[in-house]
Amino acid sequence: MIIKPFNAHDIEKTKSNFFLFYGENEGQKEEIIYNFFVRDFKGEIIKYEEKQILENKELFFEVCLNESLFEKEKIIQISRVSSKLYDIIKELYNKNIYNKKIILNSDVLEKKSKIRQLFELEKDLICIPFYQDNNFSLYKIANEFFKKNKISISSENINLIIEKCSSDRKNLQNEMNKILNYFFNKNKISRNEILKLINLYEDENYFELIDYCLAKDLNKVRKIINNNSFRKDDTIILIRSFLSRLKRLIELKKLFNQIGDVKETISRFRPPIFWKDKEIVQKQMEIWPTEKVYNLFDEITKLEINFKKNYDLSNNIIFDFILNTSNKTNN
């Protein structure tokens, strides 16, 4: 059975245990999963990749079918779903499933896709297509967000944010939350403040600095630091940019563990990595073991606390850290 995203509240009226979410609008998928499945859920949430299920169907069935008087409800989320799962899902559908919600997440599925056809035709299965937003729908989302949080912002500035987010709902939500956190004690935001926050987050000098640092290119790092006039106020943006890059690297490592090929991992990563950045991202993946990425993440988090105690020295602290991290002997 097909339900459109704008009728997602109909999910609460169904008794279905099986849901297929397909399409490229990951931001909208996350909103609906949170609002209608996760927000008030007290049970266990289990996440699978399709590949894991194909490799061990028996274990997956055991998780789905085993019942206990003391067992809590479960939500089972399966990502990167294709028609390879058709037989397994159909077999599972024909069994009795209690206290479990099975959510399948896929990218674009053609009309001839067997798993899409199964969910569209069976009345006890729920299929929701998620299409890309347009600028009008994103404007509505942003306008409601800022009104709800009592932040005064012009239409022009809302459109500016949408443009900087490449018209992507997930990116837009991230940027709006960043603005909310950064200007939490203000109820009005100027264009210059937005440009500063978003542009610093995306500015090539900042991104290049962090990217070359993680690629351990000490000469390039020194050149960027020497050629730019960084202020004390920039240190927080640098920290957040650094953390953002590390989060991406962690997610890349997770995806690599499933795929096993670095170039394929980078090609399949979402949001997409810009073509000119792929080489340096590959170098970062080859240099940094997962454990050391997490360690670096913790170190940077501690740096932010140190800044508050030594604000006058914040530039020295962050650039000493970046230079030290860029040194090939320090890994």
Output the tens digit of pLDDT for each of the chain's 331 residues. 999 988 888 888 888 999 999 998 888 998 899 989 988 888 889 999 999 999 999 999 988 888 765 667 899 999 999 999 999 999 999 987 878 999 999 988 889 999 999 999 998 999 999 988 888 889 999 999 999 988 888 888 888 888 777 667 888 888 888 888 777 667 787 777 777 676 544 455 677 899 999 999 999 999 888 877 777 767 777 887 788 889 889 999 999 999 999 999 998 887 677 777 899 999 999 999 999 999 999 998 888 777 767 777 778 888 899 999 998 766 6
pLDDT at position 202 is 44
pLDDT value for 69: 59
What is each CA distance from 296 to 214, 243, 287, 301, 321, in whole angstroms? 10, 9, 13, 9, 10
Q: How far apart are CA 129 and CA 103, in angstroms?
A: 13
- Residue spans of the domains in the chain: they are 5-130, 135-195, 204-326
In angstroms, the first-to-last Cα distance of the chain is: 53
Instruction: Kindly state the tokens that stand for 110.
Output: 């053609």
What residues form DSSP beta bridges with 129?
22
CB 124 within 8 A of CB 95: no
Which positions ≥6 away from 294 have C-beta within 8 Å? Answer: 250
Q: What would the 3-class secondary structure string for 10-64 be? A: HHHHCCCCEEEEEECCHHHHHHHHHHHHHCCCCCEEEEEEHHHHHHCHHHHHHHH
pLDDT of residue 240: 77
Task: Say if residue 316 is exposed, middle or buried (CB neighbours under 10 Å; 0-12, 13-18, 19+).
Answer: exposed
> What pLDDT does residue 106 have?
93
Cβ proximity of 202 and 164 under 8 Å: yes
Predicted local distance difference test score (pLDDT) of residue 70: 64
CATH domain 5-130 topology: Rossmann fold (3.40.50)
| Six token digits for residue 22 | 């397909």
Q: How far, in Å, are 3, 104, 113, 143, 273 from residue 123 at the CA level?
A: 11, 17, 17, 36, 39
Instruction: Write down the pLDDT at residue 198.
Output: 67
Domain 204-326 has CATH 1.20.272: yes
